[in-house]
Structure 1
Amino acid sequence: KYLTRFYDLKPTGGKVGRKNIKNPFTEKLEQMQKFFGLNVTGKLDRKTVEMMEKPRCGVHDIGQYSTVPKSSAWQKTDLTYKIVNFTPDMPQADVENSLARALKVWSDVTPLTFTRVYDGECDIEIKFVVGEYNLFLVAAHEFGHSLGLHHSEDPGALMYPNYPNTDPYRFKLPQDDINAIQSLYGKTSDAVQPTGPTTPSKCDQNLVFDAVTTLRGELFFFINRFIWRKHPRGGEADLLFIQNLWPALPNDIDAAYENPITGEVLVFKGNLYWTLNGFDISQGARSITRLGFPKNVKKIDAAVHVEHLGKTYFFVQNKYWR
């Protein structure tokens, strides 16, 4: 069903007759794996199934907005929208606020304007159906489609097919989406153009991690709002949002280390730290003074536990604690 819905897989009505012709299912599965940056095996392996099970947009993935023709965009920049009905799951005022903020995501980086109308004709009509969702992020994504954008292959983009588990109040439109929407509607009139976060690439020779730690045999590489998760058995490292695993953790952390005795991981940002027990946050933000640091220490630059010495070293500028 996934490939039928999102990759236009047609029923064959039987087996493919010729040996040299690739099975349509395999062909579409490989197309899906390539789109999401998975190993292109043509088989329903574990990572492919996991990707299929993630919450996502209902629009198909065929077509990328880097090749969207200009004609698919609105031929004007002043657009109207109308809310036809409301969801019973949220107060009406919260719905209105979330939708306005979702539209502002796009108007902040383009000449677009959005005006709400209450009756008559409109450009964008908003209707609610049954389902659980983070309204702001889903609405911002779907408005992107309404404005002419297709899905992006960038896993950090708002227009990536799978919905991110991101705090809407910390959201900033990624650069990939800014580039795409500006290719259709142009830039703002501001002297300084808005910029957004980018997705790290393993091929970047200048890549610098914020922190690296082990966790129950796995390796975790923190960078900005992302984690690369590497399993000891090998294979490609998975790129995830930090908030996919720990929703309450901040982005851009300073340091992290695992205590092999307790199995806990301590994560540091500024003068605060969080305690992780597996994929649960067992202790929320606490001051690092609780660990014995003097009040003049405002952040931990790096931390490492040296197992054969049984000691943990904390680095702050040109000093260290243990």
Structure 2
Amino acid sequence: MPCSPTWSRAPALKEGKPSEWLSRFGYLPPADPATGQLQTQEELSKAITAMQQFGGLETTGILDEATLALMKTPRCSLPDLPPGAQVRKKRQTPPPTKWSKRNLSWRVRTFPRDSPLGRDTVRALMYYALKVWSDITPLNFHEVAGNTADIQIDFSKADHNDGYPFDGPGGTVAHAFFPGDHHTAGDTHFDDDEAWTFRSSDAHGMDLFAVAVHEFGHAIGLSHVAAPSSIMQPYYQGPVGDPLRYGLPYEDRVRVWQLYGKYFWRLTRDRHLVSLQPAQMHRFWRGLPLHLDSVDAVYERTSDHKIVFFKGDRYWVFKDNNVEEGYPRPVSDFSLPPGGIDAVFSWAHNDRTYFFKDQLYWRYDDHTRRMDPGYPVQGPLWRGVPSMLDDAMRWSDGASYFFRGQEYWKVLDGELEAAPGYPQSTARDWLVCDGYYFCQDEPIRKRKRPVTSVTAAGSQASLGPTEELQMPIDGSPLGPEDTDRPMLHCDIIILNCDIIILNCDIIILNCGFTLLHFTMKKKS
């Protein structure tokens, strides 16, 4: 949703009418200047109800005291709903925008004129506010002194020629522009008429760090959200605490993970959490493209123990967690056809690597870097194992495991058929899930029952109860009208001895860098 300012000056109810306020912040379409068309009472009531719901108020549809008070609360200049949301289908919003590069420069171009905060303090607060976001994304921010920067920061008054005029103390206090190909992408503006403070007891001042964290959320692509604890809700909430210790609320972390890539948690092979703190995929696997939010398959090469990622027609080779020079390269290097693969694993029994696509499989020699003659062959090779796979892996117990849907099959070392008693539940045996887990963008009404808990067996850590798994993608609260909203989906990667759940914060089983991959996904 690139930021294209089209709003006229309508202060946060300091001067304008409630209908102008509702129009400015996206709850009503702007009045037609040619006809002077007014909003009907029904339209106005619906807009007030939407505003009340977004602001966490009782939904009365009338301008009661609480609603008027919220309209007078200092807030961000950007709308809560995107332009045109009133005429689109309910809950449909354009896809968010994000930066396509990792390294972003910033500078404070103009400073507050009448403020107790010195320039060094302002720069330090900007640094730490940006660091809040760089700590949980693959983005890196660095300050520059020149005239050009990706994110230009200004303190301005009134109309400053960007379509979002400020309105004096109170009202709208700041705004930022979303990423995109426009020249203002990422730029962030603060109202210089505000009494900007930091660690101040002045109840009338605006905490610069808190507002900057919010605005930089916009600058990296996040829109406003209705969640009351989110830093991205539009109304000023006061100071958020020490910049050195501040951490984003869960709702904001989820939305950032959706936008900029996924995290994973690690467990030891006996299923103890290594740390409650997740690692970011793009930071851990340095060299994966920023736009790459999923992979088709991954395996460890037996010839040199390097790690190979596959996505579509390309592949990357990693030594430890750093990409090798010269990658990506085409999968034709393996004599594989274009279009991607479903799974890959190395079988210890014959020291060959197997690639799977639909009902075909190929056998490859990693030592000679040649495909064995006579392949592909119609599957399956192992009796009792489905011919179409989501993934396969060799585990530390010497057995091979094959995954399809929500089930898996075990093949003992050297055997050509599945072990008795299989398939078994992947959720129960690999994810330590109590109940069902869901890895599709399914409407709520199709779900059998929610996950009640996700626990690291044998440890003190529990990641449930998991109401978070039922959070809509936009992070806003659920309501009775939300039965068809797409939900967060879970992608699973097995790093040989690791299970990683992307998009949902569940668990990993970890035993090092050796890896395989599968994604719990609906086959097209």
TM (norm. structure 2) is: 0.34
Query: Which stretch of structure 1 is more off in the superposition, 123-132 or 141-150?
Result: 123-132
Q: Are residues 189 and 84 of structure 1, via their aligned partners in 2, closer, same or farther at CA, if it must alter by over 3 Å?
A: farther
AA aligned to 1:165 is: G
Pairwise CA distance, 1:28: 1.8
Pairwise CA distance, 1:39: 2.4
User: Does the Cα contact within 8 Å between 1:151 and 1:159 map onto a contact in 2?
Assistant: yes
User: Does the Cα contact within 8 Å between 1:109 and 1:187 map onto a contact in 2?
Assistant: no
Structure-1 separation of matches of 2:125 and 2:264: 25
User: Does the Cα contact within 8 Å between 1:81 and 1:123 map onto a contact in 2?
Assistant: yes
Which whole-Å deviations, capped at 9, do the CAs of 1:105-134 have from their partners, x for residues lacking one?
A: 001111110011111432111001212321
What aligned pairs does 1:40-55 form with structure 2 within 5 A after superposition? 40-55=59-74
Q: Are residues 190 and 137 of structure 1, via their aligned partners in 2, closer, same or farther at CA, if it must alter by over 3 Å?
A: farther
What aligned pairs does 1:1-322 form with structure 2 within 5 A after superposition? 1-7=20-26, 9=28, 10-11=30-31, 13=36, 23-63=42-82, 69=95, 72-88=97-113, 89=115, 90-129=117-156, 130=192, 131-132=194-195, 133-169=206-242, 171-187=246-262, 192-193=277-278
Structure-2 separation of matches of 1:188 and 1:79: 21
Q: Are residues 158 and 167 of structure 1, via their aligned partners in 2, closer, same or farther at CA, if it must alter by over 3 Å?
A: closer
Structure-1 separation of matches of 2:263 and 2:229: 23
SS of residue matched to 1:44: coil
User: Does the Cα contact within 8 Å between 2:217 and 2:232 map onto a contact in 1?
Assistant: yes
Which whole-Å deviations, capped at 9, do the CAs of 1:254-297 have from their partners, x for residues lacking one?
A: xxxxxxxxxxxxxxxxxxxxxxxxxxxxxxxxxxxxxxxxxxxx
User: Does the Cα contact within 8 Å between 1:77 and 1:185 map onto a contact in 2?
Assistant: no
Structure-2 separation of matches of 1:40 and 1:162: 18
Q: Are residues 189 and 99 of structure 1, via their aligned partners in 2, closer, same or farther at CA, if it must alter by over 3 Å?
A: farther
User: Does the Cα contact within 8 Å between 1:56 and 1:162 map onto a contact in 2?
Assistant: yes
User: Does the Cα contact within 8 Å between 2:264 and 2:279 map onto a contact in 1?
Assistant: no
Structure-1 separation of matches of 2:93 and 2:124: 32
Which whole-Å deviations, capped at 9, do the CAs of 1:233-268 have from their partners, x for residues lacking one?
A: xxxxxxxxxxxxxxxxxxxxxxxxxxxxxxxxxxxx
Structure-1 separation of matches of 2:258 and 2:226: 17
Structure-2 separation of matches of 1:128 and 1:66: 34
Match of 2:316 in 1: none
Structure-2 separation of matches of 1:112 and 1:174: 19
AA aligned to 1:140 is: V
Extract unaligned runs of 5+ from structure 1: 196-205, 207-322
Pairwise CA distance, 1:73: 0.5
Match of 2:173 in 1: none
Q: Cα RMSD between the aligned structures?
A: 2.9
Pairwise CA distance, 1:100: 0.3
Pairwise CA distance, 1:68: 6.0
Percent identical across equivalent pairs? Answer: 35
Pairwise CA distance, 1:23: 3.6
Larger gyration radius, structure 1 or structure 2: 2
Extract unaligned runs of 5+ from structure 2: 1-19, 86-90, 157-191, 196-205, 267-276, 281-451, 453-524
Match of 1:250 in 2: none
SS of residue matched to 2:142: strand
AA aligned to 1:55 is: P
Query: Which stretch of structure 1 is more off in the superposition, 119-128 or 143-152?
Result: 119-128
